[in-house]
Structure 1
Amino acid sequence: MFDQLTELVKQFGGDAVVNNPAVPNEHNEAVMEEASGSILSGLKDMVAGGNIGDLAGMLSGKEAIDMNNPVVKELAGKVTGNLGEKFGLSPEAAGGVAGGLIPQVLGGLVSKAQDPNQPGFNVQDIVNSIGGGQGGGLMDMVTKYGGQFGLDQDGDGQVGMSDAVAAVTKKSGGLGGLLGKLFGK
């Protein structure tokens, strides 16, 4: 996952980092690496903190990936702070890098995850990677037994990540309802 994020940061880092006069040229590569690491650790922190709903909404591609998105805001704060601390960038300069980079990188991640021609990018792998491998067991169990409990949210005859995203983003029930159905509560 880190390699995939790093590639997206390099792809979109031209204006936000390389062509940004506030970032000294000798720091371009290191700033992009720090941004990649900060984005990944920020996503992991969100999962660890239970902020699955906002993340699932973003990964579903149904929410705008801009500075109004709570995931983007949280990651921008983390990246801004880290860039200021490690490279001495002013809050405005670090915020400009974060604001110019994060929405594009996350948008690219979501686009690639939803593209069937991108086998290295899929939502389940992203969730597993962000969750440190912890998402796999739950998703495997939901996929295997979920159909028996009415968890097929999209009616395709299979229970997969799209069903989990649909369940998490629904106002009634959400993830608790999904797990309650699975475990008979």
Structure 2
Amino acid sequence: MLDQISELVKQFGGDAIVNNQSVPNEHNEAVMNETGNSILSGLKNMVAEGNVNDIAGLLKGGTVDASNPVVKQLTDQLSGNLGQKFGLSSDTASGVAGSMIPKVLGSLIGKANDPNQPGFNVSDIVNSLGGNSGLMEAVSKYGGQFGLDQNKDGKVDMNDATAALSGKSGGFLSGILGKLFGK
């Protein structure tokens, strides 16, 4: 996943980083690396903190701009990291982060939702963010018995998990547990 994010950072980093006179040339590569690392670690931290509803909304095609809570949190984190690690002014750091985060996330999500893009898919994104804890395997194996097939395609997979995360007030895990224990 980091490789895919890094490629997108390089793709969009020309104007925001390389051609930005406020970012010293000797820091260009390091700033791009920090951008990719901050995006991946920030998303992983959000999952670890239980902030899956916002991420699920983003993966389902939510708005990828400064109004999105995931974009805002990642932008704030990257901006702080760039200022702290590279001595960039707050305006420069905020400008780089505010330009890069929406572009990279938007492209990543667009490619993940495009069946014609090999190497990009939503389940890979979720697994790389910590979704490979065994929960999805159990849900896939037994979920159909408990009515968890959200899209009625005969299997319980990441598309169902994403639909459940974004569509149920209690969230996917509470939905599973509620179905399992009859609540």
Deviation at 1:15, TM superposition (A): 1.4
2:80 corresponding residue in structure 1: 81
> What TM-score, normalized by structure 2, do the two folds share?
0.94
2:111 corresponding residue in structure 1: 112
Amino acid at match of 2:85: K
Q: How many residues align?
A: 182
1:178 corresponding residue in structure 2: 175
8 Å Cα contact 1:146/1:182 also seen in 2: no
Structure 1, unaligned runs of 5 or more: none
The 10-residue stretch of structure 1 (151-160 or 37-46) with the greater mean CA deviation from structure 2: 151-160
Separation in 2, partners of 1:85, 1:9: 20
Note the alpha carbon deviations across 1:120-150, whole angstroms, 9 max, x for none.
111111111111xx53511111111111111
Separation in 2, partners of 1:30, 1:165: 34
Structure 2, unaligned runs of 5 or more: none
Separation in 2, partners of 1:142, 1:12: 37
Amino acid at match of 2:72: K
RMSD: 1.4
Amino acid at match of 1:157: G
Separation in 2, partners of 1:184, 1:16: 51
Q: Secondary structure at the match of 1:21?
A: coil
State the identity as a percent.
Answer: 63
Separation in 2, partners of 1:171, 1:163: 12
Separation in 1, partners of 2:117, 2:53: 25
Separation in 2, partners of 1:50, 1:141: 19
Separation in 2, partners of 1:22, 1:150: 54
Q: Secondary structure at the match of 1:120?
A: coil
